[in-house]
Structure 1
Amino acid sequence: MTKQLISSLHKYRHNIYSQNGEDGVIEEVMKRLEINSGWFCEFGAWDGKHLSNTFHLAEQGWKGVYIEGDIDRFKDLQTNSEKYKDRLHLIREYVTPSGASSLDNLLSITTIPKDFELLSIDIDSDDYNVWAGLEYYSPLVVIIEIIGSIPPDIEKISTLSSPHSSFKSTVSLGKEKGYQLIGMIGNLFFVRDDMVEKLNLPNTELMDSSSLFDPSWLEASVSKTILSSLKSKFSKMLKV
């Protein structure tokens, strides 16, 4: 396995609404890109605030698109977004890799520009294929969920019977689409190739994407497996 470096952006992690420090990293990335405001898109948006990578941007005056398919969560999203309704487009839909509910089609009914600033993909399933299916829009920064419990040298692309994709496969997709991995902050952070230089990141981080895999996600997975095994054995002992 490749020696782990961990992204230099890790030190900027902090949460306002995000789960793994994404809020702080987004703030630093946008600062380096000299972007003070713009457009974002996030899905599944939940209620807008819960583990959101973008709600803090909405509070700061950004425009955005929130997409959420669950009707109850969408109602909560409407409530939480009421204060910013003049700047936010809310869409109740489950995003699919292709067809009428593809991200390209859903975004086309909004005024979001082609080169918008931030896309956050977190639907706990077919994230990889949804990004793969995005053709018209070209966001500057993409944050996408993977399964961190899969080692960084393993290829895995989500299917109907086996959702979620691996680090290696998602990084390869990013390269195909013209994006550079800049860190694994819970989710993977990508920046479009033409913007990478402005981030002034160490060459060591840019030369070998696999070195940015965060092994703590593997360790957490192993710990959960061991704990589950111990609980199972203890339960069987009590039944004897």
Structure 2
Amino acid sequence: MKFPNLLSSSKRWKSATAALRVEIGEARMLAAQAAIRQIAAAGVLPRLADAELRVFSQFGDDGIIQYLVRLLDIRPTSFVEFGVENYTEANTRFLLVNDNWRGLILDANQGYMESVRRDSMYWRHDLTAVAAFIDRDNINGLIADQGFRGELGILSVDIDGNDYWVWERIDVVQPSLVIVEYNSVFGSRRAVTIPYDPAFYRTSAHFSNLYWGCSLKALCLLAERKGYAFVGCNSAGNNAYFVCRDRLGPLRPLSAEEGYVESRFRESRDADGNLTFLSGDARRQAIAHLGVVDVESGETVTIGSL
């Protein structure tokens, strides 16, 4: 009686699935490229969300970025993004593989950065992946040490914590376009952020994972001080877009109230780490007792008072 060669079958299966993943990836890229051409041909869109397209981004930011890069001729073709985890979901990966931009990515997890460096993408493109825990005192050095100084195409900030304080401190690069994550649970009326803590970790700060980052208005005020205009958010209500004022072109600057989008994803957790799926104002009530800094007055206020 002959037995099948299970090892050989396993190898063939792995090879077939790998080939299928490549084909699916190529099909997604072709579909995305066709959609991007249509978006570019449409000219100025009423909302950034109208350009949304997802290939590698968590939500529809790939399309928004492509729209802005083409509409405003964003240059140079370089980016810095931090808080990327293993880079399978990121704001800049499509720019890297589709447009061949040069980039630097940073994440605190060494394993994530090692996995990026093992990917064929890493030798195919001019990408630098660095493992580092970012704070406002080391960020300029981390960027400059990798050869990124002066003019930059895109800066993308998503560290689920000190986002406001870190962007405030960055001056080693001058990006044309800045994308920063905001916490919509903090609302649209007040300019607030978590107090600065260089060791901040959102799950340790509060088990709900809802206490992190800053409000959209805080980012808008900071952007104005740094010479940027707020031009909108994605429809998921987590990423805000800021364009250097001398590159605004046909875009109209928005106020925080005009451009605010409330998030609807439900990532809250209980003390045991289980998802609780809170939405709307219930999220704010869960962290109502915690303090945030009003960046206009410098006072600490409770989230419940927002």
- Smaller-chain TM-score bracket: 0.7 to 0.9
Moved over 4 A (4+): 216-220, 223-226
* Distance in 2, Cα, partners of 1:189 & 1:97: 21
* Distance in 1 between residues matched to 2:107 and 2:283, nearest whole Å: 32
Instruction: Report the residue type matching 1:211 in the other structure.
Output: E
Higher RCO, 1 vs 2 (CA within 8 Å, ≥6 residues apart): 1
- Alignment-derived partner of residue 160 in structure 2: 124
Match of 2:232 in 1: 183
Structure 1 letter corresponding to 2:229:
Q
- The equivalent of 2:95 in structure 1 is 57
Deviations 1:136-160 (A, max 9, x none): 3110101011101121002212223
Structure 1 pair 81/187, CA: closer, same or farther in 2 (3 Å)? farther
By how many angstroms is 1:112 displaced?
A: 2.4
Relative distance call for 1:54 and 1:142 in structure 2 (3 A) is same
**Does 2:208 align with 1:172?**
no
Q: Distance in 2 between matches of 1:209 and 1:133?
A: 21
- Normalising by structure 1, we get a TM-score of 0.80
Larger radius of gyration: 2
Out of 202, 210, 214, the position equivalent to 2:261 is: 214
Number of aligned positions between the proteins: 213
Give the conservation status (yes or no) of the 8 Å contact 1:7–1:182.
no
C-alpha distance 103-180 of structure 1, shift in aligned 2 (>3 A): same
**CA positional deviation for 1:208:** 3.0
AA at the equivalent of 2:257 = S
2:245 aligned partner: 193
User: For the residues of structure 2 that align with 1:158 and 1:7, how far apart are their CA atoms?
Assistant: 32
2:116 aligned with 1:77: yes
Matched, 1:17 2:56: yes
Give the whole-Å Cα distance in 1 for the aligned partners of 2:140 and 2:110. Answer: 22
Pick the aligned partner of 1:114 from 130, 141, 150.
150
Give the fraction of aligned pairs with identical amino acids, expressed as a percent.
23
Residue equivalent to 1:29: 68
Give the 3-state SS of the residue equivalent to 1:91 in structure 2: strand
Letter of the structure 2 residue corresponding to residue 56 of structure 1: F
Are the equivalent residues in 2 in contact too, given 1:148–1:218 (CA < 8 A)?
A: no
CA distance in 2, matches of 1:7, 1:158: 32
- 1:68-114 per-residue CA deviation (whole Å, 9 max, x = no partner) reads 1112212222223654465112211111111xxx2211111122241
Residue of structure 1 in register with 2:201 after alignment: none
Q: What RMSD, in angstroms, separates the aligned Cα atoms of the two structures?
A: 2.6
* Contact 2:193/2:214 (8 A) holds in 1: yes
Q: Alpha carbons of 1:181 and 1:217: their partners in 2 closer, same or farther (altered >3 Å)?
A: farther
Deviations 1:37-58 (A, max 9, x none): 7101111121122x20001111
After superposition, the C-alpha distances for 1:126-178 in whole angstroms (9 at most, x for unaligned) are: 11111001123110101011101121002212223663111111111111111
Name the aligned partner's letter for residue 52 of structure 2. Answer: R
2:126 counterpart of 1:87: yes
Give how far 1:115 is off.
0.9
Contact (CA 8 Å) 1:43, 1:120: kept in 2 or not?
A: yes
- Equivalent residue for 2:15? none
Return the alpha-carbon distance in structure 2 between the equivalents of residues 169 and 17 of structure 1.
28
Q: Is the 1:46–1:77 contact (alpha carbons within 8 Å) kept by the matching residues of 2?
A: no
Deviation per CA, 1:167-198, whole angstroms, max 9, x where unpaired? 111111111111101111131110111111x2
Match of 2:181 among 139, 145, 168: 145
